[in-house]
Amino acid sequence: MRRLTYDEIACLFMAALILVLCVHSYVSGICYKYELNNGLFCAAFCTVPVIMKRSGALVLPGPFVILILAAIAFHAFGVLYFSYDELYYYDNLTHTLSSVTVSACVYLTLVCYQVYNRSFLLSPAMMSLASAMFMMTFSVGWELFEYVVDVSTGTNMQFSPTDTLRDMLCNTIAASAASAGMHYYVRRRGAEDIVESLRIHPLLRRFVAWGSDGKRSPIRLY
């Protein structure tokens, strides 16, 4: 069995830490069953990069793993210790972190798609714009989901317009910053090099290349 790498150790450590926080928070009576389940889900999600790597599906770059773990950790802590309710800007912090993470993932997905699927090619500037637009779509979609759930079930997921707009503002700023950052990262390292380092499983590659001939695009992307 291969030795654990630093990012795998970080993932497992974070999962264990969140598990400990779950137990502490529940036993101390700080949180209830809903928050406990949420925390357990966060702990399980921390192991996803490790599972993907060990199964040969995908190898995420180190900075991505750190970003994912940070987003999960802040959310788990907020849920288990009610920081969302007690700290005014905690929701904004987690929204920004999550948006940066998802934005980076969206950008990377588009780059992989571009490398493996000849029917799709965008200039670097258009790639950043497209990535930001898709992130905005996800943000709006989530707010719409919360609104529809509130109307149909009488819950209070969405709160006031001020809360909604603060979330949207954080998402917009984060998506724009992440798109710009990813553009610089991909330009610096090279799209082909990054995609190569992901070691995407051949089945996944075939899925991405569906509709194309599956061969690499000969055109230099960046």
Span near another protein by CB under 8 A; candidates 3-11, 29-37, 65-73, 165-173? 165-173
**195-209: b or e for each residue (b if 16 or more CB lie within 10 Å)?**
beebebeeeebeebb
Contacts 24+ apart (CB under 8 A), 124-127: 124/183, 124/186, 124/187, 124/221, 124/222, 125/183, 127/183
C-alpha to C-alpha distances, 53 to 13, 193, 204, nearest whole angstrom: 16, 18, 13
Considering only 82, 83, 124, 150, the residue that binds another protein (CB under 8 A) is 150
Binding pattern for the stretch 197-216 against another protein, x by CB under 8 A and - elsewhere: --------------x-----
Query: Does residue 137 bind another protein (CB under 8 A)?
Result: yes
Instruction: Report whether 108 contacts 64 (CB < 8 A).
Output: yes
User: How many other C-beta atoms are found inside a 10 Å radius of the C-beta of residue 22?
Assistant: 23
Query: Does residue 141 bind another protein (CB under 8 A)?
Result: yes
User: In terms of CB distance, is 128 or 158 closer to another protein?
Assistant: 158
Query: Does residue 156 bind another protein (CB under 8 A)?
Result: yes
Binding pattern for the stretch 94-133 against another protein, x by CB under 8 A and - elsewhere: ------------------------xxxxxx--x---x-xx
Considering only 162, 213, 218, 220, the residue that binds another protein (CB under 8 A) is 162
* Partners of 212 in the β-ladder: 210
Coil vs helix vs strand at 38: helix
* Residues in contact with another protein by the rule CB under 8 A: 118-123, 126, 130, 132-134, 136-137, 139-141, 143-144, 147, 150-151, 156, 158-165, 168-169, 172, 211
